[in-house]
Amino acid sequence: MKAARLVLDYLKSNGVSHIFGIPAGSVNAFFDELYEMTEITPIVTKHEGAASYMAAAYAKYSGELSVAIGCSGPGGTNLVTGAANAMREHLPVLFLTGAVPVNTVGLNASQELDAEPIFRPVTKYSVTVNEAKDVLPELAKAVEIAISGVPGPVHVAIPIDVQHGVVDVVNMPAPPVREQMVPDLEKIKQVADALVTRKSGYLFVGQGVRNSVEQLLELAEMLKWPIITTPQAKGYIPDDHPLLVGVYGFAGHEAASQLIAGGEGEILFIVGSSLGETATNNYNVKLAENRFTVQLDFDETVFNRKYKTDLPVLGDINLSLLFLIEELRTRGLTRTELGEKEKTTDTEDVAEYNTKNVLLNLQQYLPASTRYTIDIGEFMAYVIHHMKVVDSDTYGINVHFGAMGSGIGSAIGSKLAEPDRPVACITGDGCFFMHGMEILTAKEYNLPILFVVMNNARLGMVYHGHSLQFKRTHPTFEQQQINISAMAASMNIPTVRVSDMSDLTQNVVDQLTNLDGPAVLEVALIDQNTPPMGDRVKFLSSFGK
């Protein structure tokens, strides 16, 4: 059996059903074998960078191992950005790259590059396999590393000749199963004692709560403590929950900032946040100042980074919360039925054609269960600050390591992982010019995704950031507006271009949804309002002073 076929058989036994990437000479053996393997569908993308974000989103929303593939040299380096993202998001993605034949290493072969050390800083494991007999053992080792402990990406490079090498048929290793990280019960008891003896506090929630929302809400309702989320965690706590204060950090809410700055909370209870720059409002010292800090996470490296952790609890967050809830019950705490959240009235003009109103109206016209994959641009701040959380796991926001265009690939990965869930990608013209041709990938695989392109004919976040920080912007940040709808139409993709609020109606959105493929809604809008970026600009402005 060819080593390439053995690789694919092993991946199939691990439940892999899609491989994201681009065929090329140094990975040709894999694609040739896929002719005979209907169980695995190659998702041939337009750029490996987009493939890496598709694979990451697929791993995130399927909860399974996913695979991205690229050729030696440039194909592999195009995957590196997505590997760094998967590392930050703790996603089990296998990055497969080709390599030049073993006997040509060092001879300046076409697309020769030693990818192993390049991937090493952005993966849990990176290896080059130079003998066919070692392919399966190394692959199985890499996949186990990707799944185990704190999940994350791995990289395996296999030279062309090794892929074609013949190996004896062997027993297929069993797929690895991740063992749950069980927290120390004594630590849980210490946390319970701290919560009971200190009567007030705040629940500070990061994206690590993703699979533990119900437990988090039960804990909150037992303590009756306010819930504050990070930008990455938007989408997990419903807006109508009476204990939710809002988002803290980038594009966050004033109520959350005021509570942190001047509130009486004795405890900062951190659940699933690494307390990075965007989550902490640029490492604001007020966050943990004079507060006892408790932090739950399955990644021990997040403890005591920027902020002192008084009580770190290492373990899977759902287990830590379940054990803690039981301990609190033994101390007499019970879940309290809370009344409805007081509704606030928005007195702003909702008829004005601006970014905020477009996004809020769009949300009214799409199903409540829609997942929005959010790209990088000024619209991201409006999404975080203004859009509502009306269903579970509603937003894919990548403030940590999102590249421009990453939301486009993420939409495709999300749709393949959960085909029955409506998906809308909110992207911008700058992002679209980077990875917009992936809408053709969505078309080729009949994926009904609505791509909403906010076209303001400029790099909006850069434009506003420079305007606020330097009081001027370089003319190259702006450009002549391109008709993106016409570009989509040239690919026979349904599209509508709106240039006024009256153009955006339920009927228009209905025309672009429930199709057998993607559609593009272009929003031609130059919004001169300053995006709600919070203290981000103040932070950047502090440099060079």
Question: Could you report the per-residue pLDDT of 399-414, keeping only the tens digit for each?
Answer: 878 788 999 999 999 9
Q: What pLDDT does residue 155 have?
A: 98
Q: What pLDDT does residue 349 have?
A: 65
Pairwise pLDDT comparison (289 vs 339), residue with the higher score: 289
Q: Are the folds of 3-164 and 355-538 the same?
A: yes
CA-to-CA separations, 211 to 92, 214, 236, 237, 381, in angstroms, rounded? 16, 8, 9, 12, 25
Return the ∠ at Cα 75 (arms to 71 and 81), rounded to 5°. 135
Complete DSSP assignment for 268-320: EEEES----TTTTTTT-GGGTTT-EEEEEES-GGGTTSSS--SEEEES-HHHH
Q: What pLDDT does residue 480 have?
A: 81
Q: What is the CATH class of 185-330?
A: alpha beta
Q: What pLDDT does residue 490 have?
A: 96
Q: What pLDDT does residue 377 have?
A: 87
pLDDT digits (tens, 9 = 90+) for 47-87: 999 999 999 999 999 999 999 999 999 999 999 999 999 99
What's the average model confidence in pLDDT over 235-239? 95
Retrieve residue 27's tokens.
């990975």
Q: What pLDDT does residue 398 have?
A: 87
Residue 462 pLDDT level (bands cut at 50, 70, 90): low
Q: Does position 543 have pLDDT exceeding 80, yes or no?
A: no
Q: What pLDDT does residue 485 have?
A: 96
Average pLDDT, the chain: 92
Indicate the residue type of 533: M
Percent of the chain with pLDDT over 90: 81
pLDDT digits (tens, 9 = 90+) for 359-410: 999 999 999 999 999 999 889 999 999 999 999 999 999 887 878 899 999 9
Please name the fold of domain 3-164: Rossmann fold (3.40.50)
Give the residue among 308, 331, 309, 327 at the shortest CA–CA distance from 319.
327
pTM recorded for the entire structure: 0.94
Q: What pLDDT does residue 545 have?
A: 54
Q: Does position 477 have pLDDT exceeding 80, yes or no?
A: no
Q: Does position 217 have pLDDT exceeding 70, yes or no?
A: yes
Q: What pLDDT does residue 470 have?
A: 76
Q: What pLDDT does residue 544 have?
A: 55
Query: In 63-119, which residue ranges form alpha helices assigned H by DSSP?
Result: 74-89, 116-119
Percent of the chain with pLDDT over 70: 94
What's the average model confidence in pLDDT over 451-461? 78
Q: What pLDDT does residue 264 have?
A: 85
Q: Does position 345 have pLDDT exceeding 90, yes or no?
A: no
Q: Where are the domains of the chain?
A: 3-164, 185-330, 355-538
Pairwise pLDDT comparison (272 vs 398), residue with the higher score: 272
Tell me which CATH code domain 355-538 carries: 3.40.50.970
- Tell me the CA end-to-end span of the chain in Å, nearest whole number: 65
Q: What pLDDT does residue 442 have?
A: 98
Q: What is the CA radius of gyration of the chain?
A: 24
